[in-house]
Structure 1
Amino acid sequence: MESSLMKMSVTPCSCIAPQDSSITRQIVASIPQPSLPSSISVTNASTSGSELTRSVFSRSLIALLSCFSLQEILVPVHPAMAFSVGISGPKEWLKNQKKKTSDFLIAPIIASRKRLESAVSFAAETASPADIEAAQKLVKSAARDCIKPEDGSLVAFQQKTGVEVCTFRLILKNAASLLDDSDPVKLNASLALDNLISSFTSLNDVLVGLSMNADVNRMAVADAFSETNRALDNFEKGVRECLGIS
């Protein structure tokens, strides 16, 4: 093996004159040659080649990244500047995530609708004072802390400290967070929210009057329930439009 390597090493190159070949052989022969194990395998050579390739690739990647500033790498890309090869911007990605989790935002609205349906049955013409009280509790629960709370309650304390307690407001805030304040879809949903809160407030007032006076016009009670249901439907529609779902 050593003699073979020596023969390979002393092959004259173009930069050495032919007459100096003997001197070159003497110089090369005097250099200690590394001993190579006779049992070296192709697998080891392949592994070393792979490590070398990875090392070269890593250095090339670092060199490439060094051409960009840290800001260019970390700052999110605006959707309008996103590549047109199927890579969407962060805003589009968030929209898709909101669509996937839309059921969690719509669920409280659906639950409120069911509680309103139960409250209607308690507020029938033959309702007892206990039934009317049960209807009031269901309406307050369906209102999701969006009507004036009772004095001294935890909700009242939270409102005084500036905490947003109205679930419907939080739902709309989440659903429309990616829309501009001037967006017609967001504006319409905000109007639907205001109308919903007003409808719940009026319905609660009617039930309070009914609890104090059983002779209250029951038609007014039915109308208040119908108006609140319509307002809830419109609000759900507005939230869905903000989320971009049907």
Structure 2
Amino acid sequence: MTPPSITLIPSSTTTTIPPTPLKPPPSVQQPLPPLEAKFFNRRNAVVWLSLIAPLTHPASALSFGISGPKEWLRDQKKKTAKYLLAPIEASRNILRYANLLLTRTEPEFGEKELEEVQSLLRSAARDCVPQERNSFVQFQSKSGVEVCTFQLVVKNASSLLPDKDPVKLAAEAKLIDLIRSFASLSDMANEFDVQVASNRQKVANALMDTVTCLDNFEQGVKECLEV
């Protein structure tokens, strides 16, 4: 007798378990956290930018294999423009406050106010007037370190421009005008008897002329940055 044949019917409840995908090994090196702008004060931001200025030259960018280096670097400069312009805005605010002190009525202006005005003018000049520098800054200057903040600003803003570029030359000329204006203002504040109302008004007028030079310088820097 022939044994009955058995037909296997596949079960509809059979579950197919997919293979577990292989996971790549975890990366050993973690990405560096982004630099926070809040850790840079106005002066440090300018000094930091001056230190990286050689790396922002197109030739340096090419050595790192960056495509379109000049355009890329120009965009980076635009992104950091607010830090580069911050010392200019700070000096303008200082000068405006000094002007408020100078325009006080005569009984309110004494030796204390005079010393405060002179201190404010030195601060606003950002170490760009040689005779107003302290001994440490003088030492730095003699050792070849650039201490004039406004010089650092224009140097960084124009680092992608050729030496004879008219925009760069215009910004440098405005820098010279600004330093001369600060020097003249400092001389007046130190030599004039500003407790006399008429002399005080002369210093206030010179101060506002310096603010105008500062505005012109800022515009020159912005033109270098194309912002």
Q: TM-score range by the shorter chain?
A: 0.5 to 0.7
Whether contact under 8 Å (1:210, 1:216) holds in the other structure is no
Q: What does residue 192 of structure 1 align with? A: 174
CA gap 1:99/1:148 in 2 versus in 1, 3 angstroms: same
Report the Cα offset of residue 218 of structure 1: 3.1
TM-score normalised by structure 2 residue count: 0.67
Count of residue pairs the alignment pairs up: 170
Whether contact under 8 Å (2:185, 2:203) holds in the other structure is yes
Q: What does residue 162 of structure 2 align with? A: 180
Correspondence 1:163 to 2:145:
yes
Correspondence 1:231 to 2:217:
no
Report the Cα offset of residue 181 of structure 1: 1.0
Report the Cα offset of residue 223 of structure 1: 2.0
> d(CA) in 2 for partners of 1:218 and 1:227?
14
Match of 2:125 among 143, 161, 173: 143
Report the Cα offset of residue 129 of structure 1: 1.7
Give the letter for the 1:121 counterpart: L
Match of 2:98 among 109, 119, 135: 119
Whether contact under 8 Å (1:133, 1:211) holds in the other structure is no
Instruction: Render the CA deviation track for 1:29-55: whole Å, top value 9, x for unaligned.
Output: xxxxxxxxxxxxxx99xx9xxxxxxxx
Q: What does residue 222 of structure 1 align with? A: 204
Query: What is the alpha-carbon root mean square deviation over aligned residues?
Result: 2.8
Instruction: Render the CA deviation track for 1:195-216: whole Å, top value 9, x for unaligned.
Output: 0000000111110013587476
CA gap 1:180/1:77 in 2 versus in 1, 3 angstroms: farther
Q: Secondary structure at the residue paired with 1:159? A: helix
Whether contact under 8 Å (2:128, 2:149) holds in the other structure is yes
Q: What does residue 74 of structure 2 align with? A: 95
Give the letter for the 2:68 counterpart: G
CA gap 1:152/1:174 in 2 versus in 1, 3 angstroms: closer
Q: How does 1:10-159 map to 2 (within 5 A)?
A: 75=63, 89-124=68-103, 126=106, 127-150=109-132, 153-159=135-141
Give the letter for the 1:134 counterpart: E
Q: Percent identity?
A: 49
Q: Which structure would you say has the larger Rg?
A: 1
Give the letter for the 2:84 counterpart: L
- Structure 1: state its 5+ residue gaps: 1-42, 48-73, 79-87
Report the Cα offset of residue 161 of structure 1: 1.0
TM-score normalised by structure 1 residue count: 0.62
Q: Secondary structure at the residue paired with 2:130? A: coil
Tell me which of the two structures has the higher relative contact order, counting C-alpha pairs closer than 8 angstroms and 6 or more residues apart.
2
- Structure 2: state its 5+ residue gaps: 1-17, 22-61
Report the Cα offset of residue 150 of structure 1: 4.7
Instruction: Render the CA deviation track for 1:130-173: whole Å, top value 9, x for unaligned.
Output: 10110110011010000024576111111111111000000000
> d(CA) in 2 for partners of 1:216 and 1:129?
17
> d(CA) in 2 for partners of 1:177 and 1:195?
20
> d(CA) in 2 for partners of 1:75 and 1:240?
28
CA gap 1:151/1:138 in 2 versus in 1, 3 angstroms: closer
